């Protein structure tokens, strides 16, 4: 049991070393030698745990994304209304990103541009994370909060694209400001694009009454 704990600690040390190096100097510039030195291991010892640099890149974000997914379920519990859920979804994601900048840097600046990303378990969890947006937009359509002809998948793409742009820009600017600085205004713009037109609904109801 002690041997197993030792291996787990060594694996964790390798992951943390790679995470810091990838975030500080970039994935391309980081070598296996750099990671092994940072972790206090030989190259041969590192290869007992990971196949190489890409294997580490694809492994690092898994825990973070899994925790984000589990946390989101808890955060959305009990919230009424699609618009309120959308706000909480956006706020929670941005909050967790600000709290875990190293993980965010790896995901947004290295992992998402890797061709093998789509084959990973991380991507499967990211898809699940984004599927919450589909559910929110479907709820919004059903409740009348949002446009009846709204395409939930396109709406999801708009929200995800907006988040990706905001986070990438924040990371490239060395996190010199808060992601929340303009978040309320951004959210209002998004909601305005999705919100049902009350005048249109009133006109439709009036036509129906006169038929």
pLDDT tens by residue, 37-61: 999 999 999 999 999 888 888 888 8
CA 129 to chain centre: 7
Residue 83 has pLDDT above 80, yes or no: yes
> Which of the pair, 110 or 162, is modelled with greater confidence?
162
CATH, domain range 2-52:
1.10.10.60
Crossing angle of the two packed helices 61-76 and 121-143, in degrees rounded to 10: 20
Every domain range in the chain assigned CATH 1.10.10.60: 2-52
60-210: CATH topology:
Tetracycline Repressor; domain 2 (1.10.357)
Q: What is the pLDDT at residue 36? A: 95
Looking at the DSSP bridge assignments, the partners of residue 146 are 195
Higher pLDDT, 20 or 89: 89
Q: Is pLDDT of 209 > 60?
A: no
What is the torsion angle, in degrees rounded to the nearest 10, for the CA atoms of residue 160, residue 166, residue 170 and residue 173? 120
Confidence of residue 73 (pLDDT cuts 50, 70, 90): confident
The most confident of 17-31, 72-86, 108-122, by mean pLDDT = 72-86
Residue ranges of the chain that CATH labels 1.10.357.10: 60-210
Compute the distance between CA of residue 195 and CA of residue 18 in angstroms, rounded to an integer: 44
Half-sphere exposure (Cβ direction) of 11: Cα atoms closer than 13 Å: 13
Q: Given a cut of 90, is residue 115 above it in pLDDT?
A: no
Q: Mind listing the pLDDT tens digit for each residue in 148-204?
A: 999 999 999 999 999 999 999 999 999 999 999 999 999 999 999 999 987 765 444
More confident residue, 43 or 114: 43
Statement: residue 29 has pLDDT above 70: yes
The two tokens of residue 188 are 């209002």
Cβ neighbours of residue 140 under 8 Å, at least 6 residues apart?
Answer: 82, 83, 86, 146, 150, 194
């Amino acid at each position: 049991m002690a041997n197993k704990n030792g291996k787990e600690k060594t694996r964790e040390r390798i992951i943390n070393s790679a995470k810091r190096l990838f975030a500080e100097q970039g994935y391309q510039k980081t070598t296996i030698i750099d990671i092994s030195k940072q972790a206090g291991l030989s190259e041969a010892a590192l290869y007992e745990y990971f196949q190489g640099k890409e294997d580490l890149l694809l492994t690092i974000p898994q825990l973070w994304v899994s925790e984000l997914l589990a946390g989101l379920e808890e955060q959305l519990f009990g919230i009424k209304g699609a618009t309120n859920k959308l706000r909480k979804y956006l706020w929670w994601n941005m909050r967790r990103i600000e709290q875990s900048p190293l993980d965010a840097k790896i995901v947004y600046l290295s992992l998402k541009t890797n061709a093998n990303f789509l084959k990973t378990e991380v991507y499967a969890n990211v898809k699940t994370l984004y599927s919450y947006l589909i559910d929110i937009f479907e709820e919004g359509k059903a409740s009348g909060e949002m446009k009846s002809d709204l395409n939930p998948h396109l709406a999801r793409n708009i929200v995800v694209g907006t988040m990706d742009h905001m986070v990438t820009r924040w990371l490239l600017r060395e996190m010199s400001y808060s992601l929340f600085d303009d978040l309320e205004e951004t959210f209002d713009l998004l909601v305005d694009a999705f919100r049902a037109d009350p005048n249109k609904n009133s006109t439709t109801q009036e036509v129906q009454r006169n038929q």
